[in-house]
């Protein structure tokens, strides 16, 4: 697979899990952050499948229904900004298993209406799945940072000079008599 410039898409599934609890997130009460205990954890909005995909330099969180065949919600985290961790996903203050992400809401019955963003809470029964999610986000960010740095260095690097056919270099070495031809 090649990059977008070449016309194809790099697509990689980083993790997939069959159980993810999705919640409606109330507006923030304080500036300290979101709290999962405010979501009525016993009554999730939906129990979904969950996938994390990397598509070129963007990360997609997919919340799916019916054995990963129907999309419930999607969150896109753009990676070209060098701050993927701070864009669309936040940990909550009171648990390591729950998160808040931004999703886009569009109105398919009226496409002229502006697309809005909304907050979606989600979490997992097991802590190790949440740790896997954070690890995947960190690995993708590091890979994107390395790729962006390599592109930047490549654009600054000058071409290595080459000799034309029949051209020679003359080098004077200390302690030798005359010039050496290479």
Q: Can you count the helices (H) and strands (E) in the chain?
A: 1, 9
21: nearest Cα among 88, 73, 93: 73
- What pLDDT does residue 24 have? 92
Q: Do 115 and 95 meet the contact criterion of CB atoms below 8 Å apart?
A: no
> pLDDT below 50 — which residues of the chain?
1-4, 82-86
In sequence order, what are the residues at sequence separation of 6 or more whose Cβ sits closer than 8 angstroms to the Cβ of residue 93?
32, 33, 34, 35
Distance CA 149, CA 122 (A): 33
- What pLDDT does residue 4 have? 45
- What pLDDT does residue 118 have? 83
The predicted model scores a pTM of: 0.71
- What pLDDT does residue 7 have? 57
CA dihedral 12, 17, 21, 27 (to 10 degrees): -20
Lookup: tokens for 104: 């886009």
Is the four-CA dihedral 97, 99, 104, 110 of positive or negative sign? Answer: positive
- What pLDDT does residue 107 have? 58
- What pLDDT does residue 106 have? 61
């Amino acid at each position: 697979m090649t990059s977008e410039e070449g016309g194809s898409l790099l697509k990689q599934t980083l993790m997939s899990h069959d159980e993810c609890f999705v919640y409606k997130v109330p507006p923030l009460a304080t500036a300290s952050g979101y709290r999962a205990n405010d979501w009525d954890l016993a009554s999730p909005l939906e129990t979904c499948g969950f996938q994390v995909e990397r598509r070129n330099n963007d990360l997609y969180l997919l919340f799916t229904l019916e054995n990963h065949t129907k999309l419930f919600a999607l969150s896109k985290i753009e990676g070209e900004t060098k701050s993927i961790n701070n864009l669309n996903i936040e940990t909550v203050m009171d648990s390591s298993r729950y998160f808040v992400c931004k999703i886009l809401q569009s109105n398919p019955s009226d496409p002229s209406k502006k697309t809005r963003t909304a907050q979606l809470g989600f979490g997992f029964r097991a802590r190790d799945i949440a740790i896997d999610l954070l690890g995947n986000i960190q690995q993708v960010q590091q890979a994107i940072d390395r790729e962006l740095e390599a592109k930047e260095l490549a654009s600054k690097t000058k071409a290595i000079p080459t000799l034309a056919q029949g051209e020679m270099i003359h080098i004077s070495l200390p302690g030798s008599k005359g010039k050496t031809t290479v």
